[in-house]
Amino acid sequence: MSLSGSLVEWARAVLNHPELGVVGAWPRAAALLGRQALEEGIDDFWRRNLPTMKSASRTTQLACLDQYLGDFDLVSGVRVAWAALSRACHHHAYELSPTAPELDHWLATVESLVERLDRSQTA
């Protein structure tokens, strides 16, 4: 299993078991792990396929990902998930933390991407 796959598993564990010591902080912890999984998967993909993409911004990397994967729906969902997870990682006194269903949806998108990128590595 890839590092990004392991990070998604940890994010799911935090999401499904908030009583494990991150009471109150579990939504942000799950969001941070989910975003890290997404970014690690994308970084690994670009390292293998187009190393010069490393110097591009994350937004540019996400914009170009569709051309390599050929799956607009997946990449579109990944862009939304990345933005939402990034926003959820930062604490703002005037915002509520993301809910478990929101996190579950974003993590499912990250899982789909990680599985797709892992398959492209073996293909």
Q: At what angle do helices 72-89 and 58-69 cross, to 10 degrees?
A: 160
What are the tens digits of pLDDT across the range 79-89?
A: 999 999 999 98
Residue with tokens 């892992």: 118
**Number of structural domains found in the chain:** 1
Return d(Cα 48, Cα 1) in angstroms, integer: 17
User: Does residue 84 or residue 6 have the better pLDDT?
Assistant: 84
Return d(Cα 26, Cα 17) in angstroms, integer: 9
Are 12 and 1 in contact by the 8 Å Cβ rule? The answer is no
Residue 115, pLDDT score: 92
Let me know the angle formed at the C-alpha of 20 by 118 and 97, rounded to the nearest 5 degrees. 75
Return d(Cα 17, Cα 32) in angstroms, integer: 16
User: Does residue 118 or residue 111 have the better pLDDT?
Assistant: 111
52 C-beta neighbours (distance < 10 Å), count: 7
What are the tens digits of pLDDT across the range 45-56?
A: 999 999 999 999
Residue 63, pLDDT score: 92
C-alpha 73: how far from chain center: 15
- The share of the chain scoring above pLDDT 70, in percent, equals 92
Domain membership of residue 92 as a residue range: 3-122
